[in-house]
Homo-oligomer: A and B are copies of this chain.
Amino acid sequence: MGTLNSNNNPQTQSNFPKFNPLDPEEFRTQARQMVDFIADYYKNIESYPVLSQVEPGYLRTQLPENAPNRPESFDLIMKDVQNHIIPGMTHWLSPNFFAFFPATVSSAAFLGEMLCNCFNSVGFNWLASPAMTELEMVVMDWLANMLKLPKTFMFSGTGGGVLQSTTSEAILCTLIAARDRKIENVGVDEIGKFVVYGSDQTHSTYSKACKVAGIFPCNIRVVPTCIESDFALSPVVLRGIIVAAGLVPLFLCATVGTTSTTAVDPLGQLAEEFNIWFHVDAAYGGSACICPEFRQYLDGVERADSLSLSPHKWLLSYLDCCCMWVREPNVLVKTLSTNPEYLRNERSEYDSVVDYKDWQIGTGRKFKSLRLWFVMRSYGVANLQIHIRSDVRMAKMFEGFVKSDPMFDVVVPRRFSLVCFRFNPNKEHEPGYVEFLNKKLLDSVNSTGQIYMTHTIVGGIYMLRFALRIDM
């Protein structure tokens, strides 16, 4: 059915040539040109200012108000990419990018993503593309094994994993699974009493997810942390707050590697005696746990109900790729499943296959596991460990430079590859003045376009964040 007889087709006789948007040979030619563009971009990336220097609104004035009516050439579009898009990019893959957390990448993941797009299969249920579902199950177990997760999180045990796009989605899915399980016990009218817990260092997306899920904002409890415990969640303080609440404790989100300072909450000591869903957000720090020397940070994870970890941060996987494991898939599926007639099929009904649409918010989904499969196979576990260790070693080196200079402080202990420090030339200075100095320093560094780093404020202390990596 690929061809429409052109004799019956008045359009082909019009001013426009027959329209074939996926001619394999045109695809081959143009995609090769794009590969060359990208390889050259990676080669020359250091020549661009890492932080874009454009002003707000710069692009609109350079582009037409409307889409063109007639086709424009690949060369013309690529010229605009070079002239108008690249100057407005903040180059996250630049070796001079030390802001936020790195979004690490690799040839292998790029290839896997090309293949994912090649197929463009939509894997909402098993039948819609069996390989999509089954490879995802395999790689989720592979990564679980690399992290030495308990069998309770694996398909080869009693749990299972799924690829989400972001931590936000992972948290939202587990949260509503927890919420609906609780509603079954206590009734939907009690939703106003459901209380959720995190620390003041939990990612901002957590409280957003809680609000999305209908948790009353007044019931989102934030456990304060302090510099004395390296901004980790204190089990003692948490226990006091949970007990004091007198409401319905629902959900706790602990973090392995907080966004501000990479603090690690003590998983093994949290949420012991409460009937609460315990989620571990290991978006950044979790990846390091593929190395035995970092695995301690996941100690206690066997008591969690769910865990999320984003390989797009530190496992070379490109956006957007967040792994989520759950101990009781049936609880998740119960709350997220849909069963419209147009998706019904015998495989789903009689063969108890995994239908991943019931593990996520949306219906459609891509073949993301190819990326992780390509990464794990192309490099092997040993190289992925080398990659983590190299970044950490580089951070240690930078930490050493900071420590050796009396004008600078390392503000919190470095655990992974982020160094939090500040310029503090005279210990007599007022805190406000030290903050002012550091803001000045940050602005002057970033405005050069030669380095991009960011800041945070934790425990009232303004500090600079320097996130190291040596991928390229």
Q: Can you name 26 A-B residue pairings with CB atoms under 8 Å?
A: A1-B98, A1-B394, A4-B393, A20-B471, A22-B471, A27-B107, A28-B39, A31-B35, A32-B32, A34-B115, A38-B118, A56-B351, A67-B145, A69-B380, A74-B111, A74-B378, A88-B135, A90-B130, A100-B128, A103-B121, A166-B362, A167-B363, A205-B338, A319-B365, A320-B366, A341-B456
Q: A68: which of B77, B205, B211, B376 is its contact (CB, 8 Å)?
A: B376
Residues of B within 8 A of A119 (CB): 89, 91-93
Q: How many copies are assembled?
A: 2
CB distance from A77 to the nearest CB of B (A): 5
Q: Is A389 an interface residue (CB 8 A)?
A: yes
Task: For chain A, residues 164 to 216, give those with C-beta under 8 angstroms from any C-beta of chain B.
Answer: 165-169, 172, 176, 179-180, 188-189, 191-192, 203-205, 207-209, 211-216
The distance in angstroms between the C-alpha atoms of A139 and B95, with both chains bound, is 30
Task: For chain A, residues 367 to 384, give those with C-beta under 8 angstroms from any C-beta of chain B.
Answer: 370, 373-374, 376-383
5 smallest A-B Cβ distances: which pairs? Answer: A214-B214, A88-B131, A2-B95, A21-B106, A166-B362
- Given A3-B470, A165-B165, A43-B30 contact (CB < 8 Å): no
CB distance from A344 to the nearest CB of B (A): 8
Residues of B within 8 A of A364 (CB): 103, 166, 312, 319-320
**Contact call B205/A362, Cβ cutoff below 8 A:** yes
CB distance from A28 to the nearest CB of B (A): 4
Across the two chains, which residue of chain B brings its CB closest to A90?
B129
**Contact call B217/A214, Cβ cutoff below 8 A:** no
Q: Mark A127-168, 1 if CB is under 8 A from B, else 0.
A: 111111011011101110110000000001000000001111
Across the two chains, which residue of chain B brings its CB closest to A38?
B118
**Contact call A134/B57, Cβ cutoff below 8 A:** yes
- Given A9-B390, A92-B121, A204-B338, A114-B379 contact (CB < 8 Å): no
CB distance from A174 to the nearest CB of B (A): 12
The distance in angstroms between the C-alpha atoms of A35 and B65, with both chains bound, is 33
Task: Report how many residues on chain A are interfacial, defined by Cβ distance under 8 Å.
Answer: 178
Q: A130: which of B21, B52, B191 is its contact (CB, 8 Å)?
A: B52
**Contact call A113/B107, Cβ cutoff below 8 A:** no
Residues of B within 8 A of A433 (CB): none
The distance in angstroms between the C-alpha atoms of A339 and B456, with both chains bound, is 12
Q: Is A122 an interface residue (CB 8 A)?
A: yes
CB distance from A61 to the nearest CB of B (A): 10
CB distance from A347 to the nearest CB of B (A): 6
Residues of B within 8 A of A409 (CB): none
Q: Is A296 an interface residue (CB 8 A)?
A: no
CB distance from A167 to the nearest CB of B (A): 8
- Given A58-B130, A105-B120, A137-B60, A211-B176 contact (CB < 8 Å): yes
Q: Is A428 an interface residue (CB 8 A)?
A: no
Across the two chains, which residue of chain B brings its CB closest to A366?
B319
The distance in angstroms between the C-alpha atoms of A371 and B74, with both chains bound, is 13
The distance in angstroms between the C-alpha atoms of A341 and B459, with both chains bound, is 12
The distance in angstroms between the C-alpha atoms of A185 and B100, with both chains bound, is 37
Residues of B within 8 A of A60 (CB): 134, 137-138
The distance in angstroms between the C-alpha atoms of A349 and B76, with both chains bound, is 36
Residues of B within 8 A of A228 (CB): none
